Amino acid sequence: MKKIKMLQRKTNYFSLAAGFVLTILVLFSFHSEAQITIDQSDMPSPGDTIRKSTALNTDLYDFSETGANYTWDYSDLQPLIQTVDTFVKVTETPIVYWPFFILSSNMASPMADSPFPQIPLTDVFSFYNNTNSGFSDVGFAATVSGIPLPFKYDNGDVLYDFPMNYGNVDSSHSGFDFGVPGIGYILVDRNRVNTIDGWGNLTTPYGTFEVLRLKSEVHEYDSLYLDTLGIGMPINLDYIEYKWLAKGQKIPLLIATDNLFGMVVEYVDSIRDLSSDIQEEIHLIDKGLQLFPNPAKDKLTLDFFLEKAGSIKISIVGIDGVLMATYNEYQAQTGNVNILLNLKSLGLTSGKYIVNVVTPKKSISGILIFHQTN
């Protein structure tokens, strides 16, 4: 009888121990699957090239949706144009930029378009610093009329604070002011708040990945004064960047930028044949917005249905996300709305542009094919 009791005790102890170990293993397994951690090793390095597609939000995805163990399915995104992000050493940029950035950054990336369309900038490079503590935008440099202009932030704009884990919150303040006699004056003041508000699985046309979701709320004040025109242009920018990051992918797999002028969507992609007929490209237009004529030369008519009376904001954005033009707010009543825009004075070059319309209930977008005339 004593032996039986001893055996029972041992069996009970073993069951308790086994249950405890099993619980720990299950919890550990859940934690390991629960989320990834993003750090310095997941960022780009000099020599990296990453292909991206820009897409329209034709299915009216709500990119703000998020949560723990969340599934984001954006597999129906339609690519419009492709670009390649290239990262180089600081010493591979023009030598006149080195004194300003070689001690504060460890890589650079050429920019295809000027961040200030009103100024004819060339040799434009963004500079970044990747360290154990974070990945920061240090500033950019450009050349205008043969003069090198270093736009270096007083403090780096911290894009990612390492290590990145679900629930993390951080903030940074960056900016610069720079003037050149006879050319003008530029001021940028930016506040960024980053919140890692989700983890789970992301699906795009490129594939499915385990990701962290980062929400960046940015308040920015820009001021541009051109001596040649004798006018200043103060701009208040409030926008939200939604980013999905995965291990070893160098840049976010998907970025959706939401501002007053609509949504710009970019995602990492493979090489695609986008040499379709112009008419096929026009069919990618949001079903809620009709643009005609399209292609257009000097005038463009917008036709859409307004579900709720109120203010309408219209903007034209380059495929790369650069704001090209905004129009005065329109007031309209519920029903079919028809608006005529004058494109001739915008200084657009031939190519594709995104027309964004923000209504009281939603944002709609369409692709404009513009043909420049002399």
Q: Which residue has the tokens 């993003």?
A: 38
pLDDT digits (tens, 9 = 90+) for 299-352: 898 988 888 888 888 989 887 677 888 887 888 888 888 888 888 878 788 888
DSSP 8-class letter at 20: H
Residue type, position 308, single letter: K
Residue type, position 320, single letter: D
Separation between Cα atoms, residue 165 and residue 39, nearest integer Å: 9
Q: Which residue has the tokens 């934690």?
A: 31
DSSP 8-class letter at 14: H
Pick from 36, 134, 109, 85: nearest CA to 251: 85
User: Would you call 31 helix, strand, or coil by DSSP?
Assistant: helix
To the question of pTM greater than 0.85 for the whole model, the response is no
Contact indicator for 40, 220 with CB cutoff of 8 Å: no
Q: What pLDDT, on the 0 to 100 scale, is given for residue 335?
A: 82
Burial class (CB in 10 A: 0-12, 13-18, 19+), 165: middle
Separation between Cα atoms, residue 325 and residue 346, nearest integer Å: 7
Give the mean model confidence (pLDDT) for residues 90-113.
94
> If you average pLDDT over each of 14-23, 205-214, 286-295, which comes out highest?
205-214
DSSP 8-class letter at 41: G
Q: Which helix (H) or strand (E) holds 318?
A: strand 310-318
DSSP 8-class letter at 298: S
Contact indicator for 140, 190 with CB cutoff of 8 Å: no
Cα torsion 151, 152, 157, 163 to 10°: value is: 130
pLDDT band at 14 (very low <50, low <70, confident <90, very high): very low
What CATH number does the domain located at 278-370 have? 2.60.40.3080
pLDDT digits (tens, 9 = 90+) for 252-295: 999 999 876 667 899 999 988 776 534 444 444 445 688 888 77
Question: Number of C-alpha atoms within 13 angstroms, CB side, residue 345?
Answer: 4
Residue type, position 22, single letter: L
CB atoms within 10 A of CB 123: 16
Q: Which residue has the tokens 């409030």?
A: 238
**Domain coordinates in residue numbering, the chain:** 40-268, 278-370
Q: What pLDDT, on the 0 to 100 scale, is given for residue 113?
A: 62
Q: Which residue has the tokens 């940015």?
A: 218
Residue 33 to residues 24, 67, 71, 182, 354, Cα–Cα distance (Å): 14, 15, 14, 58, 39
Burial class (CB in 10 A: 0-12, 13-18, 19+), 352: middle
Q: What pLDDT, on the 0 to 100 scale, is given for residue 225?
A: 79
Q: What pLDDT, on the 0 to 100 scale, is given for residue 109?
A: 97
Contact indicator for 156, 34 with CB cutoff of 8 Å: no
> If you average pLDDT over each of 41-55, 116-130, 289-303, 341-355, which comes out highest?
41-55
DSSP 8-class letter at 206: T
What φ, ψ does residue 233 adopt, rounded to 5°? -130, 90
pLDDT digits (tens, 9 = 90+) for 160-184: 999 999 999 999 999 999 876 776 7
Cα torsion 31, 32, 37, 40 to 10°: value is: 150
Burial class (CB in 10 A: 0-12, 13-18, 19+), 108: buried
pLDDT band at 115 (very low <50, low <70, confident <90, very high): low
SS (H, E, C) 83-97: EEEECECHHHCCHHH
Question: Is the N-terminal amide bond of 205 cis, ω within 30° of 0?
Answer: no
Q: Across-strand partners of 271?
A: none
Taking 50 as the threshold, does the pLDDT of residue 13 lie above it?
Answer: no
Name the strands in the sheet holding 289-292, side by side, starting at the edge strand that comes first in the sequence.
Answer: 289-292, 299-306, 335-342
Residue type, position 139, single letter: G
Which string of b and e fits 64-95 if b means at least 16 CB within 10 Å?
eebeeeeebebeebbbbbbbebbbbebeebee
303 or 103: whose pLDDT is higher?
Answer: 103
